Amino acid sequence: MNLPSTKASSSDTRLTPDQPMSHFVRILARGKLGSRNFTQAEAFDAMTHVLTGSATDIQIGALLMLLRVKEETSEELTGFVLAVKAELAVRFGGELKLSADLDWPSYAGKRRHHAWYLLAALTLSAHGVRVFMHGARGHTEGRVYSEDLLRELGLKPATSFAESQQNLDQCCFSFMPTRTFSPVLSRLIDLRTEFGVRSPVHTLLRLVNPLDADHTLQSIFHPAYQASHRSAALSLGYANSVVIKGDGGEFERNPDARTRVLGVRDHAPFDMRLEMQNDTRSEVETDLSAATLRAVWLDQTAHPYGDQAISETLALALINLKKANTYEQAKRLAASMWSNRSSAPYFNQLIRPI
């Protein structure tokens, strides 16, 4: 993958040695007539300054909120992600050469329904699909997060890429907190409380795919971001990707809603629309602890909505993994995998009875 040139545009004020980041803030903050979007190269440079500590907190805050107001372009997202990948390569080098089939970012948390996407991901792992999940926790009040739920289920987060490799080898699943591979981006995500809104960091982390898996999943909060996410995935050279507006912002198909799917299959874009599965909205759940997830996984309790959400989410992942050519095929395979999870090769290495 070719990284963009880091030369500034000749039409803009040159960077000054003492305040290099001010150049990028000016590009975005010159008013309606003077402002413009970053080029990919400028986005790469701006994020590099953020990651390497050559930008002040005030400059970073200004940059992120200016981007938030105008909404980042796919070209900007591509530049930001490439900067993160370049920084990861410098710090971790060969450690990133792990074998993962599917990159599953988890940065939203859930607040109305259980995290059924976790059981969809673990069903894939039980059947031998190597799933690398990464995410952040605690940045938005009133939500439950993958890291905390997985801990309750007995699946500890990886503290290094070497540990991720061990987890993937042992049970085909590994979760890594953002703070483990990028403390800088983790700190910026935690600023959500101070900003009062999410920043572009939440967006770019869904695209970063640290292990360069051939298959990636992405979920967005707002439909307006869906096309730019897919466009960025294409620019980044991701061969297979699926972008949806997932339940609560996580990659989870809501069976109570219509879902538009923007995807990439063998480097070519595709679109798909899925109709709602239920005529009425399911009840909002108040207790979102991991106990229900464990009980459903171990077939100790029934949960009709959970079964739907798991199977529908699993079907989208199977389309992405090219295990099926149509959604109907994917749904049948998903239902079979979910129903037969207890006989899958890695089932006993995942969630266990208390």
- Give 202's pLDDT tier (boundaries 50, 70, 90): confident
Q: What's the pLDDT score for residue 139?
A: 66
Number of domains comprising the chain = 2
Which of 28-42, 156-170, 180-194 shows the highest mean pLDDT?
156-170
Contact of 319 with 251, CB cutoff 8 Å: no
Q: Do 150 and 261 reside in the same domain of the chain? A: yes
Q: Do 246 and 283 reside in the same domain of the chain? A: yes
Between residues 153 and 279, the one the model is more confident about: 153
Q: Do 155 and 174 reside in the same domain of the chain? A: yes
Residue 62 counted as domain residue: yes
Residue 354 counted as domain residue: no
The string of pLDDT tens digits covering residues 182-198 is 999 999 988 877 776 67
Q: What's the pLDDT score for residue 1?
A: 46
Q: Do 44 and 124 reside in the same domain of the chain? A: no
State the average pLDDT for the chain.
91
For the entire predicted model, the pTM comes to 0.91
Q: What's the pLDDT score for residue 212?
A: 95
CB atoms within 10 A of CB 147: 24
Structure tokens at 204: 């770019």
Q: Do 178 and 215 reside in the same domain of the chain? A: yes
| Whether the predicted pLDDT of 10 surpasses 50 | no
Residue 126 counted as domain residue: yes
Residue 2 counted as domain residue: no
Rounded distance, CA 48 to CA 39, Å?
14
Residue type at 270 in one-letter notation: F
Q: What's the pLDDT score for residue 329?
A: 97
Edge-to-edge strands of the sheet including 268-274?
173-177, 131-135, 102-106, 215-219, 240-244, 259-265, 268-274
Lowest mean pLDDT among 20-29, 150-159, 266-275: 20-29
The string of pLDDT tens digits covering residues 37-81 is 999 999 999 999 999 988 888 999 999 999 988 989 999 999 999
Q: Which CA distances in Å does 70 have to 20, 24, 123, 225? A: 22, 14, 39, 12
Q: Do 303 and 327 reside in the same domain of the chain? A: yes
Lowest mean pLDDT among 197-201, 211-215, 227-231, 343-347: 197-201
Examine the fold and report which residue of 61, 94, 127 is the final residue of a domain before the chain moves on: 94
User: What is the domain-level CATH number for residue 124?
Assistant: 3.40.1030.10
- Give 9's pLDDT tier (boundaries 50, 70, 90): very low
The string of pLDDT tens digits covering residues 311-334 is 999 999 999 999 999 999 999 999
Long-range pairs, 150-156, Cβ under 8 A, ≥24 = 150/118, 150/175, 152/289, 152/290, 152/291, 152/294, 153/118, 153/290, 153/293, 153/294, 153/351, 154/351, 154/352, 155/350, 155/351
Q: Do 81 and 165 reside in the same domain of the chain? A: no
Rounded distance, CA 115 to CA 125, Å?
16
Q: What's the pLDDT score for residue 13?
A: 38
- Give 18's pLDDT tier (boundaries 50, 70, 90): low
Helix and strand counts by DSSP (H, E) for the chain: 16, 7
Lowest mean pLDDT among 208-222, 273-287, 289-303, 322-336: 273-287
Average pLDDT estimate for 97-104: 92
| Whether the predicted pLDDT of 159 surpasses 70 | yes
Residue 34 counted as domain residue: yes
Q: What's the pLDDT score for residue 15?
A: 43
Residue 299 counted as domain residue: yes
**Neighbouring C-alpha atoms within 13 Å toward the C-beta of 345:** 11
Residue type at 199 in one-letter notation: S
| Whether the predicted pLDDT of 256 surpasses 80 | yes
| Whether the predicted pLDDT of 92 surpasses 70 | yes
CB atoms within 10 A of CB 346: 19
Domain span holding position 44: 22-94
Structure tokens at 139: 């940045």
State residue 105 phi and psi, 5-degree precision: -75, 145
Q: Do 80 and 109 reside in the same domain of the chain? A: no
Q: Do 64 and 146 reside in the same domain of the chain? A: no
Structure tokens at 328: 């109907």
Q: Which are the contacts of 264, defined by CB distance < 8 A and separation ≥ 6?
A: 230, 233, 234, 238, 239, 240, 241, 242, 270
Q: Do 44 and 161 reside in the same domain of the chain? A: no
Residue 140 counted as domain residue: yes
Examine the fold and report which residue of 51, 70, 94 is the final residue of a domain before the chain moves on: 94
Q: Do 83 and 163 reside in the same domain of the chain? A: no
Rounded distance, CA 92 to CA 87, Å?
9
- Give 290's pLDDT tier (boundaries 50, 70, 90): very high
